[in-house]
A and B are shown apart, each in its own frame.
Chain A
Amino acid sequence: EDQVTQSPEALRLQEGESSSLNCSYTVSGLRGLFWYRQDPGKGPEFLFTLYSAGEEKEKERLKATLTKKESFLHITAPKPEDSATYLCAVRESGGSNYKLTFGKGTLLTVNP
């Protein structure tokens, strides 16, 4: 069973059509949840770190939120340049402080 599950696998939006991406996790204790953006042919780009339930962080049209079992990446009025794969990763308490477990990502396409 995957510890980190992202849904949907792919999402197609029209420009301006707000939506959310989901990242659910089953680790026993969370020491951090990370969101990354990955453009085709490039490495993942760090977006946010969330540490505790109720925490929220924002950057431009993106807002990440965290509950005890999942995180959402809300995209408000997206633009075509927001098209990318969005990756979620968790660091588990009790494990090594370096280890991140990644989900498989959500491929977001925003059409003009």
Chain B
Amino acid sequence: DAGITQSPRYKITETGRQVTLMCHQTWSHSYMFWYRQDLGHGLRLIYYSAAADITDKGEVPDGYVVSRSKTENFPLTLESATRSQTSVYFCATRDRFREQYFGPGTRLTVT
């Protein structure tokens, strides 16, 4: 039972490039989330999705795009990467008890 998987685990990209981070869950949870984790800020919500084809902005959505065509997948796209988007990105789902479970993370470096 893999739960939540994220890919890639590590990514280095250049400023201005588009990059997509993938998130896949095997639980069929309705809610999925994208967070970024930075020193001094803790975990901050980027986007969330309540179900397939339903997405909404979180605390820090600028520069990011999401989609959710299938319940199990929730990709996060940086349309034109900037150095300030260097971070560790976590995908999470929420179960019926409203507890969130996190994936292993993607460490993104923008040079």
Contact = CB atoms under 8 A, between A and B. Distances in A.
Interface of A: 32, 34, 36, 41-46, 49, 87, 89, 91, 97-100, 102-105
A7 B43 CA distance: 16
A41 B58 CA distance: 24
B42 A102 contact: yes
A25 B98 CA distance: 20
B50 A98 contact: yes
Interface size class of B (residues with CB under 8 A): 20 to 34
Nearest to B50: A98
A87 B100 CA distance: 13
A104 B102 contact: no
Contacts of A97: 98
B48 A102 contact: no
A42 B42 contact: no
A77 B100 CA distance: 28
Contact of B99 (A34, A42, A99, A104): A34
Contact of A100 (B97, B100, B103, B105): B100
A44 B90 CA distance: 9
B92 to A, nearest CB: 8
A98 B33 contact: yes
